[in-house]
């Protein structure tokens, strides 16, 4: 494609965002933008990948067991993602930093003590901690990009309130592909080398529009009145809380900052992150790719578990009453297992210890809601479930994951609609998936296409080998 055509596709989207931004911006004139910093970092990383492949590309990365083919590819080395890496015993690190470290290092809102997700996004993309000025500029940029096309608003307004909020979320995100800068640039013949630029614009638009989508779904489904406008002088999480109708509770706004930060990314292999990467590898634009991620996140073994946990706790309370004894709780846990169901919020495909995201939420609860009766039940369950799962002897990890704790925090502030919880998870997960899509396009990640085998083929391979 000619560079003129590229400029028209990419820069048109950028110019309109900047023009909108200029209406709001007052302080960010001199800070280096995220896109400028990325443009500096990408060439060196392309060389780094080239050198790594040249040196190690033909080396074996360990054996593949037949069990891994049948067993959900657990532990199979298959993907590259630098943004976050999971250690089975320690939990997630974002660009090498643990959750307590990012809580300490990332910029905060004035008067706040939780990290701003704006900073986490910068960290995921660049490996660097941004300045206060840079996160403020990002908040303003997102505010400037936040409005929804009217047809997307109409799609949401026409959804029956009985349609699950995650299905509505995925519909709206998919429909945003109507205005994708990447799809347009591709149609105009953009060069591969430039893919990351319209992907960046789409990723920024995607994240920016999520509070309006989430707020609209929430108010449509649960009847919360008219949506307020995005406030360009406030951070992303404040605006999200405001659109949901909870910004008058400063602790809820702080909770959103923590929540969006810690749910954002969990290395590359989890269902939502991997789905986004897979679909993006076909050069489907970020809206299509993230719509697919959301459909994976909506499954009860993945993000929907946060809804399932609260439903399970409430069912337990209605069966055995509030302030039940440890024995009654233990018996209820056993009855769940005996009914052939999983205990939601416990176990993990990779982690083998209590999830540090659970611990971060527990710390928040100890600080803000230590006397909440449901928090007390969550603690009681924490003391009982691992022992039961160990005794049952199947789960490889008996400890709680992130989803075991989020519902009690949300419900404490009055966000009681459990079916909505995974939407908040999805808002956060966009930060990780979007970062990955930008880097995949910058590094020229190829179409994903692993090999599948039939059971007959597996038998034949080993029969031939032993013959
Ligand atoms: C954000 C997130 O996605 S975090 C995960 C959220 N999901 C949940 O909390 C749902 C409850 N947990 C689970 O279902 C599982 O632990 C998963 C899906 C998270 C991980 O699955 P796997 O990697 O297959 O776990 P694992 O290897 O330990 O499973 C072995 C057996 O233990 C069972 N098991 C694992 N966790 C649990 C649990 N919490 N309750 C009951 N049984 C469990 C599995 O169902 C499996 O049974 P099977 O052999 O009859 O199929
Ligand atoms: O890592 C996983 O498989 C699931 C998980 O905790 C997440 O995606 O946040």
Give the pLDDT score at 12. 53
141 and 254 part of one domain: yes
Counting residues of the chain whose pLDDT is more than 90, the rounded percentage is: 91
Mean pLDDT of 158-166: 98
Say which CATH number the domain at 220 has.
1.10.580.10
Q: State percent of the chain over pLDDT 70.
A: 93
Q: Are residues 265 and 362 in the same domain?
A: no
> Does residue 27 have a pLDDT over 80?
no
The CATH number for 330's domain is: 1.10.230.10
Q: Of the residues 413, 433, 455, which one is the last residue of a structural domain?
A: 413
Is 348 known to be catalytic?
yes
Q: Tell me: do 220 and 314 sit in the same domain.
A: no
Residue 113: Cβ within 10 Å count: 11
pLDDT of residue 7: 44
- Residue range(s) defining the domain that contains residue 148: 132-303+418-443
Q: Are residues 247 and 334 in the same domain?
A: no
Out of 413, 433, 456, pick the residue that ends a domain. Answer: 413
pLDDT number for residue 181: 98
Which position among 263, 302, 405, 412 bears the catalytic label? 302
What is the mean pLDDT of the segment spanning 75-88?
A: 96
- My answer on whether 298 and 308 are in the same domain is no
**What mean pLDDT comes out for the span 112-130?**
98
In-domain check, residue 94:
no
Statement to judge: residues 437 and 406 lie in one domain: no
Classify residue 42: in a domain, yes or no. Answer: no
Ligand 1 contact via 403 beta carbon (within 6 Å): yes
User: Has residue 123 been placed in a domain?
Assistant: no
Model-level ipTM above the cut of 0.90? yes
Residue 365 within any structural domain of the chain:
yes
- Residue 6: which pLDDT band, with cuts at 50, 70 and 90? very low
Quick one: pLDDT at residue 224? 77
Q: Tokens representing 5?
A: 């055509």
User: If you average pLDDT over every residue of the chain, what do you get?
Assistant: 94
Encode pLDDT of 357-396 as tens digits: 999 999 999 999 999 999 999 999 999 999 999 999 999 9
Q: Is the pLDDT of residue 248 over 50?
A: yes
- Considering the domain architecture, whether residues 365 and 388 belong to the same structural domain is answered as yes
Are residues 183 and 285 both part of a single domain? yes
Mean pLDDT of 76-91: 97
- Residue 43 covered by a domain: no
Q: Angle, nearest 10°, between helix axes 373-392 and 305-320?
A: 100
Whether residues 187 and 289 share a domain: the answer is: yes
Position 28 pLDDT exceeds 80: no
pLDDT band at 22 (very low <50, low <70, confident <90, very high): very low
Tell me, yes or no, whether 385 lies in a domain: yes
148 lies in the same domain as 217 = yes
Same structural domain for residues 313 and 438? Answer: no
The number of distinct structural domains making up the chain is 2
User: 349 alpha carbon to ligand 1 midpoint, in Å?
Assistant: 7
* CB of residue 349 inside a 6 A radius of ligand 1: yes
Residue 343 CB less than 6 A away from ligand 1: yes
Decide if 156 is inside a domain. yes
More confidently predicted of 257 and 31 = 257
Q: Ligand 2: does its nearest atom lie under 6 Å from the Cβ of 350?
A: yes
Which of 222-231, 268-277, 337-346, 365-374 shows the lowest per-residue confidence on average (mean pLDDT)?
222-231
Residue 337, pLDDT > 50, answer: yes
Residue 84 inside a domain? The answer is no
Q: Measured in angstroms, how far is the CA atom of residue 100 from the centroid of ligand 1? A: 26
Ligand nearest to the CA of 85: 2
Confidence of residue 19 (pLDDT cuts 50, 70, 90): very low
Q: How many residues does the chain have?
A: 467
For the cut 90, the answer to whether the pLDDT of residue 20 exceeds it is no
pLDDT in tens, 174-224: 999 999 999 999 999 999 999 999 999 999 999 999 999 999 999 999 987
Mean pLDDT over 22-48 rounds to 79
Is 403 an annotated catalytic residue?
Answer: yes
Using most ligand atoms within 8 A of CB, pick from 267, 297, 347 the residue to mutate for ligand 1.
347
Residue 67 confidence (pLDDT): 97
Does the structure show a pLDDT above 90 at 5?
A: no
- Domain closes at, from 374, 397, 413: 413
Residue 243 has pLDDT above 80, yes or no: yes
For ligand 2, atom 9, which residue shows the shortest CA distance? Answer: 266
Is residue 3 over pLDDT 50?
no
Nearest-angstrom CA–CA distance, 174 and 183: 13
Kindly report the protein residue whose alpha carbon is nearest to atom 17 of ligand 1: 348
User: Do 269 and 333 belong to one domain?
Assistant: no
205 is catalytic: no
Indicate the range of 9-18, 155-164, 448-457 predicted with least confidence.
9-18
């Amino acid at each position: 494609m000619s560079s003129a055509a590229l400029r028209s596709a990419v820069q048109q989207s950028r110019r309109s965002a900047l023009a909108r931004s200029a209406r709001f911006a007052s302080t960010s004139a001199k800070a280096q933008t995220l896109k400028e910093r990325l443009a500096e970092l990408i060439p060196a990383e392309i060389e780094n990948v080239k050198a790594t492949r040249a040196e190690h590309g033909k080396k074996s990365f360990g054996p593949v067991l037949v069990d891994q083919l049948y067993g959900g590819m657990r532990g199979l080395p298959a993907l590259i993602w630098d943004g976050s890496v999971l250690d089975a015993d320690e939990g997630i690190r974002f660009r090498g930093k643990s959750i307590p470290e990012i809580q300490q290092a990332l910029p905060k809102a004035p008067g706040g003590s939780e990290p701003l997700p704006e900073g986490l996004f910068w960290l995921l993309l660049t490996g660097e901690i941004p300045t206060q000025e840079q996160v403020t500029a990002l908040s303003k940029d997102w505010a400037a990009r936040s409005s929804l096309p009217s047809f997307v608003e109409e799609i949401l307004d026409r959804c029956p309130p009985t349609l699950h909020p995650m299905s509505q979320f995925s519909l709206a995100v998919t429909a945003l592909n109507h205005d994708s800068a990447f799809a347009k640039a591709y149609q105009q013949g953009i060069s591969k080398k430039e893919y990351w630029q319209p992907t960046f614009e789409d990723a920024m638009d995607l994240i920016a529009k999520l509070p309006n989508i989430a707020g609209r779904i929430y108010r449509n489904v649960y009847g919360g009145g008219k949506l307020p406008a995005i406030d360009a002088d406030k951070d992303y999480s404040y605006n999200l809380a405001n659109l949901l109708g909870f910004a008058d509770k400063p602790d809820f706004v702080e909770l959103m900052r923590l929540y969006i930060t810690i749910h954002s990314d969990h290395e590359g292999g989890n269902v939502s992150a991997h789905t986004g990467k897979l679909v993006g590898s076909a050069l489907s634009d970020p809206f299509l790719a993230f719509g697919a991620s959301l459909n994976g996140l909506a499954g009860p073994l993945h993000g929907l578990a946060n809804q399932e946990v609260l439903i399970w706790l409430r069912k337990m309370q209605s069966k055995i009453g509030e302030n039940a004894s440890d024995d009654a709780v233990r018996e209820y846990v056993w009855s769940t297992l005996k009914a052939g169901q999983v205990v939601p919020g416990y176990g993990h495909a990779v982690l083998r210890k209590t999830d540090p995201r659970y611990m971060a939420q527990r710390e928040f609860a100890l600080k803000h809601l230590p006397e909440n009766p449901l928090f007390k039940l969550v603690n009681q369950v924490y003391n009982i479930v691992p022992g039961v799962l160990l005794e049952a002897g199947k789960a490889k990890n008996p400890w709680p994951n992130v989803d075991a704790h989020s519902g009690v925090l949300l419900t404490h502030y009055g966000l009681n609609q459990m079916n909505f919880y995974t939407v908040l998870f999805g808002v956060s997960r966009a930060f990780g998936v979007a970062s990955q899509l930008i880097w995949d396009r910058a590094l020229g990640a190829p179409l994903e296409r692993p090999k599948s085998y039939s059971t007959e083929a597996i038998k034949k391979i080993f029969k031939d080998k032993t013959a």
